[in-house]
Structure 1
Amino acid sequence: MTVIVREPEEADHRQWQDLFSNYQRFYRGHIPPETVDFTWQRIQDPASDMGGLVAELDGQLIGLTHFLYHDSTWNSKKSCYLEDLFVDKQARGCGAARLLIEQVEHIARESGAFRLYWHTQEYNGAARSLYDSIMPPSSFMVYRKNL
Protein backbone atom coordinates (compact mmCIF):
# COMPACT_ATOMS: atom_id res chain seq x y z
CA MET A 1 0.00 0.00 0.00
CA THR A 2 1.56 3.20 -1.22
CA VAL A 3 0.46 6.71 -0.36
CA ILE A 4 -0.07 8.84 -3.46
CA VAL A 5 0.16 12.63 -3.17
CA ARG A 6 -1.54 14.56 -5.95
CA GLU A 7 -3.63 17.59 -6.79
CA PRO A 8 -7.30 17.23 -5.86
CA GLU A 9 -9.74 16.53 -8.66
CA GLU A 10 -13.41 17.50 -8.88
CA ALA A 11 -14.39 13.91 -8.00
CA ASP A 12 -12.52 14.33 -4.68
CA HIS A 13 -14.72 17.16 -3.47
CA ARG A 14 -16.81 15.17 -0.97
CA GLN A 15 -13.86 13.31 0.57
CA TRP A 16 -11.84 16.55 0.68
CA GLN A 17 -14.75 18.29 2.41
CA ASP A 18 -14.95 15.52 5.02
CA LEU A 19 -11.20 15.76 5.73
CA PHE A 20 -11.34 19.55 5.93
CA SER A 21 -14.26 19.30 8.35
CA ASN A 22 -12.31 16.86 10.55
CA TYR A 23 -9.32 19.22 10.44
CA GLN A 24 -11.51 22.08 11.68
CA ARG A 25 -12.91 19.87 14.43
CA PHE A 26 -9.38 18.89 15.51
CA TYR A 27 -8.54 22.57 16.02
CA ARG A 28 -11.94 23.28 17.56
CA GLY A 29 -12.72 25.70 14.76
CA HIS A 30 -15.59 26.40 12.45
CA ILE A 31 -15.24 27.76 8.94
CA PRO A 32 -18.50 28.92 7.32
CA PRO A 33 -19.66 26.66 4.46
CA GLU A 34 -19.34 29.48 1.93
CA THR A 35 -15.67 29.93 2.89
CA VAL A 36 -15.07 26.18 2.57
CA ASP A 37 -16.65 26.30 -0.90
CA PHE A 38 -14.53 29.31 -1.82
CA THR A 39 -11.39 27.49 -0.64
CA TRP A 40 -12.26 24.50 -2.84
CA GLN A 41 -12.75 26.83 -5.82
CA ARG A 42 -9.39 28.52 -5.23
CA ILE A 43 -7.43 25.28 -4.96
CA GLN A 44 -9.07 24.13 -8.20
CA ASP A 45 -8.15 27.37 -10.01
CA PRO A 46 -4.66 27.24 -11.61
CA ALA A 47 -4.55 31.08 -11.63
CA SER A 48 -5.01 31.29 -7.85
CA ASP A 49 -2.13 31.92 -5.42
CA MET A 50 -3.58 29.08 -3.35
CA GLY A 51 -2.84 25.43 -4.00
CA GLY A 52 -3.85 22.15 -2.49
CA LEU A 53 -2.77 18.54 -2.42
CA VAL A 54 -4.39 15.36 -1.20
CA ALA A 55 -2.92 12.09 0.03
CA GLU A 56 -4.61 8.93 -1.20
CA LEU A 57 -4.29 5.38 0.09
CA ASP A 58 -6.16 2.47 -1.48
CA GLY A 59 -8.49 4.80 -3.37
CA GLN A 60 -9.47 6.84 -0.29
CA LEU A 61 -8.31 10.33 0.58
CA ILE A 62 -6.51 10.26 3.92
CA GLY A 63 -4.92 13.68 4.03
CA LEU A 64 -4.83 17.19 2.65
CA THR A 65 -2.75 20.30 2.61
CA HIS A 66 -3.39 23.86 1.46
CA PHE A 67 -0.69 26.39 0.73
CA LEU A 68 -0.49 29.89 -0.63
CA TYR A 69 2.07 32.34 -1.91
CA HIS A 70 2.53 35.92 -0.77
CA ASP A 71 4.92 38.80 -1.28
CA SER A 72 7.58 39.57 1.26
CA THR A 73 9.51 42.65 2.34
CA TRP A 74 12.53 40.40 2.94
CA ASN A 75 12.99 39.08 -0.58
CA SER A 76 11.84 39.84 -4.11
CA LYS A 77 10.60 36.25 -4.42
CA LYS A 78 7.37 34.95 -2.92
CA SER A 79 7.03 33.09 0.38
CA CYS A 80 5.02 29.88 0.49
CA TYR A 81 2.85 29.45 3.55
CA LEU A 82 1.65 25.92 4.27
CA GLU A 83 -1.61 26.88 5.95
CA ASP A 84 -3.40 23.58 6.53
CA LEU A 85 -2.12 20.04 6.94
CA PHE A 86 -4.29 17.16 8.09
CA VAL A 87 -4.14 13.36 7.97
CA ASP A 88 -7.08 11.25 9.09
CA LYS A 89 -6.53 9.79 12.55
CA GLN A 90 -6.86 6.21 11.26
CA ALA A 91 -4.08 6.79 8.70
CA ARG A 92 -1.52 8.57 10.85
CA GLY A 93 1.90 7.01 10.91
CA CYS A 94 1.86 5.92 7.26
CA GLY A 95 4.07 8.83 6.14
CA ALA A 96 1.35 10.85 4.42
CA ALA A 97 2.02 14.10 6.31
CA ARG A 98 5.73 14.03 5.50
CA LEU A 99 4.96 13.29 1.83
CA LEU A 100 2.50 16.19 1.69
CA ILE A 101 5.07 18.59 3.17
CA GLU A 102 7.79 17.34 0.83
CA GLN A 103 5.54 17.83 -2.19
CA VAL A 104 4.63 21.37 -1.12
CA GLU A 105 8.36 22.07 -0.73
CA HIS A 106 9.00 20.71 -4.22
CA ILE A 107 6.21 22.84 -5.72
CA ALA A 108 7.42 25.94 -3.85
CA ARG A 109 10.99 25.44 -5.12
CA GLU A 110 9.74 24.93 -8.67
CA SER A 111 7.67 28.12 -8.44
CA GLY A 112 10.71 30.12 -7.32
CA ALA A 113 9.64 30.76 -3.73
CA PHE A 114 12.44 31.67 -1.33
CA ARG A 115 10.81 30.34 1.82
CA LEU A 116 8.38 27.65 2.94
CA TYR A 117 6.95 28.00 6.41
CA TRP A 118 4.08 26.84 8.61
CA HIS A 119 3.05 26.80 12.23
CA THR A 120 1.09 24.58 14.56
CA GLN A 121 -0.37 24.86 18.01
CA GLU A 122 1.92 24.23 20.94
CA TYR A 123 -0.13 21.27 22.21
CA ASN A 124 0.02 19.38 18.89
CA GLY A 125 2.83 17.06 19.98
CA ALA A 126 2.45 14.52 17.19
CA ALA A 127 2.71 17.18 14.49
CA ARG A 128 5.57 18.93 16.26
CA SER A 129 7.49 15.68 16.45
CA LEU A 130 7.22 15.30 12.69
CA TYR A 131 7.98 18.97 11.99
CA ASP A 132 11.03 18.92 14.27
CA SER A 133 12.39 15.98 12.25
CA ILE A 134 12.08 18.05 9.05
CA MET A 135 13.56 21.30 10.35
CA PRO A 136 14.05 23.02 13.70
CA PRO A 137 11.37 25.47 14.80
CA SER A 138 12.06 29.17 14.43
CA SER A 139 12.29 31.44 17.45
CA PHE A 140 9.31 33.51 16.33
CA MET A 141 6.03 33.62 18.21
CA VAL A 142 2.78 34.07 16.29
CA TYR A 143 0.42 36.84 17.40
CA ARG A 144 -2.99 36.91 15.80
CA LYS A 145 -6.10 39.00 16.15
CA ASN A 146 -9.25 38.14 14.24
CA LEU A 147 -10.90 41.17 12.73
Structure 2
Amino acid sequence: MITIGGLTAEDRPTWENLFAGYNRFYGRTLAPELLDRAWREFASGERLHALGARLDGELVGIVHFLTHASTTSADVCYLQDLFTDEKARGRGAGRALIEAVAGWARARGCARIYWHTQTSNTTARRLYDQVALDKGFMQYQIPLDA
Protein backbone atom coordinates (compact mmCIF):
# COMPACT_ATOMS: atom_id res chain seq x y z
CA MET A 1 0.00 0.00 0.00
CA ILE A 2 1.29 3.48 -0.94
CA THR A 3 1.18 6.24 1.67
CA ILE A 4 2.25 9.86 1.17
CA GLY A 5 3.74 12.12 3.80
CA GLY A 6 6.47 14.54 4.74
CA LEU A 7 10.12 13.60 4.93
CA THR A 8 11.87 13.12 8.26
CA ALA A 9 15.51 13.45 9.26
CA GLU A 10 15.77 9.64 9.10
CA ASP A 11 14.71 9.77 5.43
CA ARG A 12 17.72 11.85 4.34
CA PRO A 13 19.96 8.95 3.13
CA THR A 14 17.13 7.34 1.13
CA TRP A 15 16.01 10.74 -0.19
CA GLU A 16 19.58 11.43 -1.34
CA ASN A 17 19.68 8.08 -3.13
CA LEU A 18 16.33 8.70 -4.85
CA PHE A 19 17.28 12.26 -5.78
CA ALA A 20 20.60 11.00 -7.17
CA GLY A 21 18.62 8.55 -9.34
CA TYR A 22 16.44 11.39 -10.58
CA ASN A 23 19.47 13.49 -11.45
CA ARG A 24 21.28 10.57 -13.12
CA PHE A 25 18.25 10.14 -15.37
CA TYR A 26 18.72 13.74 -16.52
CA GLY A 27 22.49 13.35 -16.87
CA ARG A 28 23.63 15.44 -13.95
CA THR A 29 25.24 15.11 -10.54
CA LEU A 30 24.46 17.56 -7.77
CA ALA A 31 27.16 19.03 -5.56
CA PRO A 32 26.79 18.21 -1.85
CA GLU A 33 26.11 21.86 -1.02
CA LEU A 34 23.07 21.82 -3.32
CA LEU A 35 21.75 18.70 -1.61
CA ASP A 36 22.26 20.36 1.77
CA ARG A 37 20.53 23.55 0.61
CA ALA A 38 17.52 21.64 -0.76
CA TRP A 39 17.20 19.61 2.45
CA ARG A 40 17.33 22.79 4.57
CA GLU A 41 14.67 24.40 2.37
CA PHE A 42 12.41 21.37 2.71
CA ALA A 43 12.84 21.43 6.47
CA SER A 44 11.89 25.11 6.71
CA GLY A 45 8.88 24.58 4.42
CA GLU A 46 8.86 28.19 3.28
CA ARG A 47 10.11 28.15 -0.33
CA LEU A 48 10.61 24.52 -1.33
CA HIS A 49 8.49 21.55 -0.32
CA ALA A 50 8.95 17.79 -0.44
CA LEU A 51 6.79 14.73 0.07
CA GLY A 52 7.65 11.06 0.06
CA ALA A 53 5.82 7.96 -1.09
CA ARG A 54 6.15 4.89 1.10
CA LEU A 55 5.46 1.35 0.05
CA ASP A 56 4.99 -0.87 3.09
CA GLY A 57 6.74 1.79 5.17
CA GLU A 58 9.78 2.13 2.88
CA LEU A 59 10.48 5.45 1.13
CA VAL A 60 10.26 4.66 -2.60
CA GLY A 61 9.36 7.99 -4.20
CA ILE A 62 9.89 11.71 -3.81
CA VAL A 63 8.38 14.91 -5.14
CA HIS A 64 9.71 18.47 -4.80
CA PHE A 65 7.55 21.50 -5.52
CA LEU A 66 7.14 25.23 -4.99
CA THR A 67 4.64 28.00 -5.62
CA HIS A 68 5.13 31.24 -7.46
CA ALA A 69 3.12 34.27 -8.48
CA SER A 70 1.41 34.48 -11.84
CA THR A 71 0.41 37.50 -13.89
CA THR A 72 -2.73 35.78 -15.20
CA SER A 73 -4.10 33.84 -12.23
CA ALA A 74 -3.77 33.08 -8.57
CA ASP A 75 -0.39 31.61 -7.56
CA VAL A 76 0.64 28.43 -9.33
CA CYS A 77 2.47 25.35 -8.13
CA TYR A 78 5.51 24.07 -10.00
CA LEU A 79 6.20 20.38 -9.52
CA GLN A 80 9.96 20.43 -10.04
CA ASP A 81 11.15 16.88 -9.35
CA LEU A 82 9.30 13.56 -9.26
CA PHE A 83 11.03 10.20 -8.98
CA THR A 84 10.14 6.68 -7.89
CA ASP A 85 12.45 3.77 -7.30
CA GLU A 86 12.33 1.17 -10.08
CA LYS A 87 10.98 -1.47 -7.70
CA ALA A 88 7.94 0.72 -7.00
CA ARG A 89 7.12 1.80 -10.55
CA GLY A 90 3.69 0.84 -11.78
CA ARG A 91 2.38 0.57 -8.21
CA GLY A 92 0.80 4.04 -8.01
CA ALA A 93 3.52 5.98 -6.19
CA GLY A 94 3.98 8.61 -8.91
CA ARG A 95 0.25 9.17 -9.30
CA ALA A 96 -0.18 9.38 -5.51
CA LEU A 97 2.62 11.96 -5.25
CA ILE A 98 1.08 14.09 -8.00
CA GLU A 99 -2.34 13.85 -6.33
CA ALA A 100 -0.82 14.86 -2.98
CA VAL A 101 0.80 17.93 -4.51
CA ALA A 102 -2.53 18.78 -6.18
CA GLY A 103 -4.27 18.57 -2.81
CA TRP A 104 -1.58 20.68 -1.16
CA ALA A 105 -1.80 23.33 -3.90
CA ARG A 106 -5.61 23.32 -3.95
CA ALA A 107 -5.69 23.89 -0.18
CA ARG A 108 -3.50 26.96 -0.65
CA GLY A 109 -5.62 28.45 -3.41
CA CYS A 110 -3.26 27.76 -6.32
CA ALA A 111 -4.78 28.00 -9.78
CA ARG A 112 -2.91 25.05 -11.26
CA ILE A 113 0.07 22.72 -11.10
CA TYR A 114 2.53 22.33 -13.93
CA TRP A 115 5.76 20.48 -14.63
CA HIS A 116 8.21 19.65 -17.38
CA THR A 117 9.64 16.42 -18.68
CA GLN A 118 11.73 15.46 -21.64
CA THR A 119 9.74 14.43 -24.69
CA SER A 120 11.75 11.19 -24.72
CA ASN A 121 10.58 10.26 -21.19
CA THR A 122 7.85 7.97 -22.51
CA THR A 123 7.45 6.02 -19.27
CA ALA A 124 6.60 9.12 -17.25
CA ARG A 125 4.55 10.62 -20.06
CA ARG A 126 2.18 7.63 -20.01
CA LEU A 127 1.23 8.62 -16.46
CA TYR A 128 1.27 12.37 -17.14
CA ASP A 129 -1.06 11.97 -20.11
CA GLN A 130 -3.55 10.29 -17.76
CA VAL A 131 -3.46 12.90 -14.99
CA ALA A 132 -2.75 16.22 -16.73
CA LEU A 133 -3.19 18.21 -19.93
CA ASP A 134 -0.34 18.67 -22.39
CA LYS A 135 -0.74 22.36 -23.19
CA GLY A 136 1.81 22.20 -26.02
CA PHE A 137 4.37 24.60 -24.60
CA MET A 138 8.08 24.21 -25.24
CA GLN A 139 10.72 25.24 -22.72
CA TYR A 140 13.63 27.53 -23.59
CA GLN A 141 16.58 28.23 -21.31
CA ILE A 142 19.45 30.66 -21.10
CA PRO A 143 22.05 29.23 -18.71
CA LEU A 144 23.41 31.91 -16.40
CA ASP A 145 26.83 30.79 -15.28
CA ALA A 146 27.36 32.15 -11.78
Deviations 1:69-116 (A, max 9, x none): 1111112x2110000000011210000000000000000000111111
Supply the distance in 2 between the matched residues of 1:124 and 1:64 (Cα, whole angstroms): 17
**Structure 1 portions without partners, runs of 5+:** none
> What is the one-letter code of the residue matched to 1:79?
V
Q: TM-score, normalised on structure 1? A: 0.94
Supply the distance in 2 between the matched residues of 1:67 and 1:49 (Cα, whole angstroms): 9
Alignment root-mean-square deviation, CA: 0.9
1:81 paired with 2:78, answer yes
The answer for the alignment partner of 1:98 in structure 2 is: 95
- The sequence identity of aligned pairs, in percent, is 42
Supply the distance in 2 between the matched residues of 1:9 and 1:137 (Cα, whole angstroms): 33
**Structure 2 portions without partners, runs of 5+:** none
Q: TM-score, normalised on structure 2? A: 0.95
3-state SS in 1 of match to 2:80: strand
- Matched pairs, number: 144
1:19 paired with 2:18, answer yes
2:59 equivalent among 50, 58, 61: 61
The answer for the alignment partner of 2:133 in structure 1 is: 136
Supply the distance in 1 between the matched residues of 2:18 and 2:77 (Cα, whole angstroms): 22
1:70 paired with 2:68, answer yes
